[in-house]
């Protein structure tokens, strides 16, 4: 097992290096280099840069060095914990991450909790009372929430609360430890918007795997032995059906990182995703570069953790 863990961790390192190279290349080599993007808006206008000014900026940002030097110094800076500055706001990117990261993490964690609390009962009930009216209703809503984009649910939520309650979730950053009540008002609605979609996936997955497990021989054996139905469901079926559901849930947690960008924009929640969206609209290239890398690293790490827990639960995987 230890060997397996080591191998998986070592395999993740080249992936992360590859990711950093790809990010760097996309940001530097594709048409529209960072400086071009920054000055593009006032091309030829009274505020546009002269050639000398451009040269000075390029030098101060280190953009006129060879590409490999720029790449290596970027990685070295990150290794030293120096994530650079936002070009427009002059705030350290590290501070942005520390302030806004908790908000996004909160939304993610609440969303996962909501998805299990809603999705699992729906899936289990659907599987047990198969083809009942409850089952049809739940399958109908599952199909709907699988398709509805979370950011649209978010916009709909705001429309409803504004029109009917003249209230909307707060949009100024409040940390959980400063003012828990206001912070929850800010993070719970987006968590629901994301969580319902994830709940639909969990409901669908758990219903399907439960039905599959119900047909297994050992379930029939248990029933034949005279084990009570409750015991059959909890001891024999649930235990074996939950593995794939856990995997799907983990994958969803990771995809939520990408989804957070649009959802946070929909709620105007000041999280990391909103910071990334803002930076992309501003062409704030250092912020984009570092935040995308952060998102990708978190994604790789979450996937790694899922794989490892899976191997922990299911011994067959370790020996592949």
Partner 1 sequence: MDANTTEVVRQRRELTWASAPLVIYGASRRFVSTSPIGAFAVAFLIVVGLVALLADFIAPYPPLEANYSMLRHSPTASHPMGNDFLGRDVLTRLMFGARTSLIVAFSAVAIGKSIGFSWGIVSGYMGGRFDLFTQRIVEVLLAFPGIILALMLLVALGSGVFTVIIAISIGGVAGSTRVIRSVVLSVKEMPYVDAARAIGATQLRVMLLHVAPQCIAPAMVVASASLGGAIFAEAALSFLGLGVPPPNPSWGNMLNSASNEFLNPLWWMVVFPGMAITFTILAFNLFGDALRDHLDPKLRGGLN
Residues that bind partner 1 (CB under 8 A): 14-16, 18-19, 22-23, 26-27, 30-32, 143-144, 146-149, 151-152, 155-156, 158-159, 162-163, 168, 208, 211-212, 254-259, 261-262, 265-266, 268, 276-277, 280-281, 283, 288, 292, 295-296, 299-300
Q: Which helix (H) or strand (E) holds 64?
A: none
Cβ at position 139, least distance to partner 1 in Å: 8
> If you ran DSSP here, which 8-state letter would residue 219 be given?
H
Cβ at position 26, least distance to partner 1 in Å: 5
Cβ at position 52, least distance to partner 1 in Å: 27
Q: Which is nearer to partner 1, 173 or 176 (CB)?
A: 173
Task: Please give the C-alpha separations between residue 129 and each of 157, 175, 231, 243, in angstroms, as whole numbers.
Answer: 31, 43, 17, 22
Other beta carbons within 10 Å of 95: 12
Q: Which is nearer to partner 1, 31 or 315 (CB)?
A: 31
**Contact indicator for 24, 74 with CB cutoff of 8 Å:** yes
Among candidate residues 295, 274, 291, 93, the one with its CA nearest the CA of residue 186: 274
Let me know if 44 is exposed, middle or buried by CB neighbors in 10 A (0-12, 13-18, 19+). exposed
Q: Which is nearer to partner 1, 176 or 303 (CB)?
A: 303
Q: Which is nearer to partner 1, 176 or 240 (CB)?
A: 240
**Contact indicator for 209, 241 with CB cutoff of 8 Å:** yes
Tell me the C-alpha distance between 189 and 197, whole Å.
13
Helix, strand or coil for residue 254?
A: helix
Cβ at position 226, least distance to partner 1 in Å: 28
Q: Which is nearer to partner 1, 156 or 180 (CB)?
A: 156
Cβ at position 177, least distance to partner 1 in Å: 27
Task: Specify the long-range contacts of residues 116-120, CB closer than 8 Å, at least 24 apart.
Answer: 116/199, 116/202, 116/249, 117/199, 118/195, 118/196, 118/199, 118/203, 119/198, 119/199, 119/200, 119/201, 119/202, 119/203, 119/206, 120/202, 120/203, 120/206, 120/245
Cβ at position 197, least distance to partner 1 in Å: 10
Q: Which is nearer to partner 1, 22 or 76 (CB)?
A: 22
Q: Which is nearer to partner 1, 103 or 292 (CB)?
A: 292
**Side-chain half-sphere CA neighbours of 187 within 13 A:** 26
The residue with tokens 């994604």 is 299
Cβ at position 314, least distance to partner 1 in Å: 20
């Amino acid at each position: 097992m230890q060997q397996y863990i080591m191998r998986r961790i070592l395999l993740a390192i080249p992936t992360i290096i590859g990711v950093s190279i790809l990010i760097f290349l996309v940001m530097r080599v594709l048409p529209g280099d960072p400086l071009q993007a920054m000055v593009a808006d006032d091309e030829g206008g009274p505020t546009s840069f002269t050639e000398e000014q451009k040269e000075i900026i390029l030098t101060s940002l280190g953009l006129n060095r060879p590409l490999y030097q720029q790449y290596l110094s970027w990685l070295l800076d990150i290794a030293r914990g120096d994530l650079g500055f936002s070009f427009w706001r002059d705030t350290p990117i590290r501070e942005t991450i520390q302030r806004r990261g908790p908000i996004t993490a909160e939304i993610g964690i609440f969303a996962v909790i909501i998805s299990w609390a809603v999705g699992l009962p729906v899936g289990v009930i659907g599987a047990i009372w198969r083809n009942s009216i409850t089952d049809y209703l739940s399958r109908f809503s599952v199909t709907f929430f699988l398709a509805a984009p979370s950011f649209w649910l978010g916009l709909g939520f705001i429309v409803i609360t504004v029109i009917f309650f003249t209230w909307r979730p707060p949009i100024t950053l409040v940390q959980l430890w400063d003012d828990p009540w206001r912070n929850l008002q800010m993070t719970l609605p987006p968590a629901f918007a994301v969580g319902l979609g994830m709940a639909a996936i969990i409901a669908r997955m758990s219903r399907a795997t439960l039905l599959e497990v119900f047909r297994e021989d050992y379930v029939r054996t248990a029933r034949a032995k005279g084990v009570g139905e409750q015991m059959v469901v909890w001891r024999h079926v649930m235990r074996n059906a939950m593995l794939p559901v856990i995997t799907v849930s983990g994958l969803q947690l990771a995809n939520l990182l990408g989804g957070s960008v649009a959802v946070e924009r929909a709620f105007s929640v000041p999280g990391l995703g909103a910071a990334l969206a803002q930076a992309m609209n501003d062409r704030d290239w250092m912020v984009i570069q570092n935040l995308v890398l952060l998102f990708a690293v978190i994604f790789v790490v979450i996937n790694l953790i899922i794989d490892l827990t899976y191997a922990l639960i299911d011994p067959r995987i370790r020996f592949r």
